[in-house]
Structure 1
Amino acid sequence: MNKLLPPDLLHRLIPLNTLSPRYLQEIRHQLVPRALAAGEVLCDKQTPSGLSYFLLSGVLSLQTPEGERRLVAGSSESWHMLVSGARLSRACALDDVSVLCIDSEQLDRLVSWQHANADLLLELATAGELTDWLETLLENPLFAKVPPANIRDMLGRLEAIDMPAGQVLLREGEAGDCCYFLKSGRAEVMIGLGSAGQVVAELEVGACFGEEALLTDGPRNATVTLIEDACVLKLARENFVSLLKAPVVDELSLEQANALIEQGAQWLDVRLLEEYEQGHAPQALTMPLHLLRLKARLLKQDRLYVCYCDSGKRSASAVFLLTQLGFSAYPLQGGLDGLSAEDYATLLCERGHGYLARSGGRTERSG
């Protein structure tokens, strides 16, 4: 029987190592190493797309547009994920190997949300707000489906209400017109009515409840009662529905982006530094999404910026943040994953530490 991936190995794999324990829990069933014998094919042109691979042990032969090369487990290159497709047409085991196979879209979504939420928490903490309840709330699986830009908007629509112990917030069988978040205090969840009622759970700070009736448009399936004095945050149905809708962001094709770059716009790479160092656009500034709020003060307000990442999710969040801060920015349509192998190689032609933004909007080569 296969065993779960050892934590010390997991901490090396980029960008898996940036996910919180809660997000890792979402993909726990995928964190089981798969063994391949020498000569066995991991992926080729016939393999369905949508998987990312991490090499844990052994040696793989990789067929790319540039030719054939070897990937050896334990090397810094092997810590990065492999994605089958235009940039990797075939991967074959040269000896006995061990790999992880993870759903690419799910991984990218979790990484994007993790980094965007980190920026949000930083913003609130900088403003002097206590964020323990929000940190817990953002670990709720519901919020893995919410565009990060919408969470900021949601915080402005919450109605804070102080309530005493014993207050019933939801009653089983009633229609749902709102949901609640528990900012302080505790509550208990009971199913069944009258003498048949049974307490099935206790809710603590950061809990979200009442959302299921909004998602299904059905009646409440439980009764929730405060067992301590509490502060609850109420979100009306119409605001909850809009919370789940992705904001519209104007995107640029590679041709449009290159035209703007020639006119003086600047590439911003919002991936992790380790991903940036593997290959980045010419003179692209490294601006990881989770650090963007801190580093944005080094950018120029009168310059146009074009953001890119793997799928476009992180860059869409970056553009939303930059726009709020008064900058003009656009994301690359479809991200790097949407480029052909030729366009990818042409765009990400520089390697190493690359370029950093300095005060006054200066760009400095760091190595």
Structure 2
Amino acid sequence: MNDALTPAQLRSLTPLNMLSEQQWRELRTQLVPQHVLAGQLLFRRGDQARTTYYLLSGELLLEDADGCEERLQAGTVASCHPLSPALPRVQQARALSDVSVLVLDSATLTRLLTWHSALQGLLLELQQDGEDLEWLQRLLANPLFARVPPANVRAMLGRLQPVTLPAGSVVLQEGEQGDCCYFLKQGRAEVLRGSDSERQVLAELELGACFGEEALLADRPRNASVTLLEDSLLLRLDRQDFVALLKAPVVDQLSLGEASRLLAQGAAWLDVRLQDEYQQAHAAQALNMPLHLLRLKARLLDKERSYICYCDSGKRSANAVYLLAQLGFSAYALRDGYDALPALQRDALLSENGAGYLARSGGRIERSA
């Protein structure tokens, strides 16, 4: 068993089966079975490591301090629950045959379970208040909300301002400064770029969609227009509320030292500046995906890998992290960009120049010719 567990396998494990598929994706790097040879110990009595174990194949012997033994076979009801979950552990576990086990970080699992339970409680409360939940459930299915505390979701709902507009209304205008974002509660809308004969339709927005947030993240003019295709009900969230309730929890920021440690664990730099800026100087082995092309090019990135986005001021990279979170990627921003670094650190970071590196399908990174 070398491949990650399938949804069907995860649904058989308690309490993993309480999580959503999006939350399973957040655990994806941990969902690969590990192998233990016959005779080896999985853990000892008194172990206090915050680790959750599930037996997936084979047979284990569990033994407590009084010598009481319990044989545990994979595929039984008992094996669908964590092994000796209390800390410090009251049993030791020894493999009676070659076994495979699922090993999870307990703190991460607890956080996801707590978020899921709190969110379900919020939805139940809103349902009892007569709230139409379909749009909200679609909104919360967006991967970025997996990182927003339920308390922030509740506070956000209290600050949304309803706006009813007829079909044909231009809600956002390309080039204007952004002071708010919107959620689509009823109706349909389309995203357009350009004008007259050069106008392109970029997307049609579905129920629960959030739009207009990119200008708030980057503190730049709107990069597209949004027009209503039918009479619609929108919910407006002002800039200050968006930053406090959504941006802060979603956009994880790192110092250069923290970024270096993450790079040592397999993360990659992602330069979101323009190609000309990148070619002047960029981080070692950094990929270049300009922010305005990121949504299109993100399909080339590897969802099993973390990415550290950087730019000069930190504004474009914050926008990139928010976008990547929407798409289900693990991403971080270099805090305040490289302009905030001392000159020696900035020069050491931007140590390469020229065409650099390209992302290929499957997450492969190649040096450009």
Normalising by the smaller structure, the TM-score range is 0.5 to 0.7
Partner in structure 1 of residue 88 of structure 2: 87
**CA–CA distance in 2 between the matches of 1:11 and 1:124?**
27
**CA–CA distance in 2 between the matches of 1:17 and 1:28?**
14
**Contact kept? 1:61, 1:69, Cα under 8 Å:** yes
**CA–CA distance in 1 between the matches of 2:118 and 2:79?**
26
Residues 124 and 200 (structure 1 numbering): CA distance in 2 closer, same or farther, change over 3 Å?
A: same
Q: CA RMSD of the aligned region, Å?
A: 3.7
**CA–CA distance in 1 between the matches of 2:179 and 2:67?**
59
Q: How far does residue 134 in structure 1 lie from its aligned partner after superposition?
A: 0.8
Partner in structure 2 of residue 252 of structure 1: none
Q: How far does residue 12 in structure 1 lie from its aligned partner after superposition?
A: 2.4
Partner in structure 1 of residue 15 of structure 2: 15
**CA–CA distance in 2 between the matches of 1:55 and 1:197?**
56
Residues 3 and 127 (structure 1 numbering): CA distance in 2 closer, same or farther, change over 3 Å?
A: same
**CA–CA distance in 2 between the matches of 1:17 and 1:225?**
40
Q: How far does residue 119 in structure 1 lie from its aligned partner after superposition?
A: 1.2
> How many residue pairs align between the two structures?
245
Deviation string 1:116-155 (CA, Å, 9 cap, x unpaired) is 1211111121122211111111222222222212222221
The one-letter amino acid paired with 1:57 is S
Runs of 5+ consecutive residues of structure 2 not aligned to the other structure: 250-369
**CA–CA distance in 2 between the matches of 1:15 and 1:8?**
14
Q: Percent identity?
A: 54
Range that drifts further, 104-113 or 28-37: 28-37
Residues 128 and 26 (structure 1 numbering): CA distance in 2 closer, same or farther, change over 3 Å?
A: same
**CA–CA distance in 2 between the matches of 1:104 and 1:215?**
33
Partner in structure 2 of residue 114 of structure 1: 116
Q: How does 1:91-170 map to 2 (within 5 A)?
A: 93-170=95-172
Residues 129 and 85 (structure 1 numbering): CA distance in 2 closer, same or farther, change over 3 Å?
A: closer
Q: Does 1:24 align with 2:21?
A: no
Runs of 5+ consecutive residues of structure 1 not aligned to the other structure: 247-367
Residues 97 and 236 (structure 1 numbering): CA distance in 2 closer, same or farther, change over 3 Å?
A: same
TM-score normalised over the length of structure 1: 0.55
The one-letter amino acid paired with 1:52 is T
The one-letter amino acid paired with 1:235 is L
Deviation string 1:293-312 (CA, Å, 9 cap, x unpaired) is xxxxxxxxxxxxxxxxxxxx
**Contact kept? 2:165, 2:231, Cα under 8 Å:** yes
Partner in structure 2 of residue 179 of structure 1: 181
TM-score normalised over the length of structure 2: 0.55
Partner in structure 2 of residue 231 of structure 1: 233
**CA–CA distance in 1 between the matches of 2:26 and 2:84?**
20
Deviation string 1:215-270 (CA, Å, 9 cap, x unpaired) is 44444444333222211111111112232478xxxxxxxxxxxxxxxxxxxxxxxx
The one-letter amino acid paired with 1:11 is R
**CA–CA distance in 1 between the matches of 2:235 and 2:128?**
22
Secondary structure at the counterpart of residue 228 of structure 1 = coil
The one-letter amino acid paired with 1:81 is P
Q: How far does residue 182 in structure 1 lie from its aligned partner after superposition?
A: 0.8
**CA–CA distance in 1 between the matches of 2:212 and 2:133?**
22
Residues 194 and 35 (structure 1 numbering): CA distance in 2 closer, same or farther, change over 3 Å?
A: farther
**Contact kept? 2:159, 2:241, Cα under 8 Å:** yes
**Contact kept? 2:191, 2:224, Cα under 8 Å:** yes
**CA–CA distance in 2 between the matches of 1:81 and 1:55?**
8
Deviation string 1:303-361 (CA, Å, 9 cap, x unpaired) is xxxxxxxxxxxxxxxxxxxxxxxxxxxxxxxxxxxxxxxxxxxxxxxxxxxxxxxxxxx
Residues 180 and 53 (structure 1 numbering): CA distance in 2 closer, same or farther, change over 3 Å?
A: farther
**Contact kept? 2:48, 2:87, Cα under 8 Å:** no
Secondary structure at the counterpart of residue 112 of structure 1 = helix
The one-letter amino acid paired with 1:96 is D
**Contact kept? 1:23, 1:139, Cα under 8 Å:** no
Q: How does 1:251-262 map to 2 (within 5 A)?
A: none
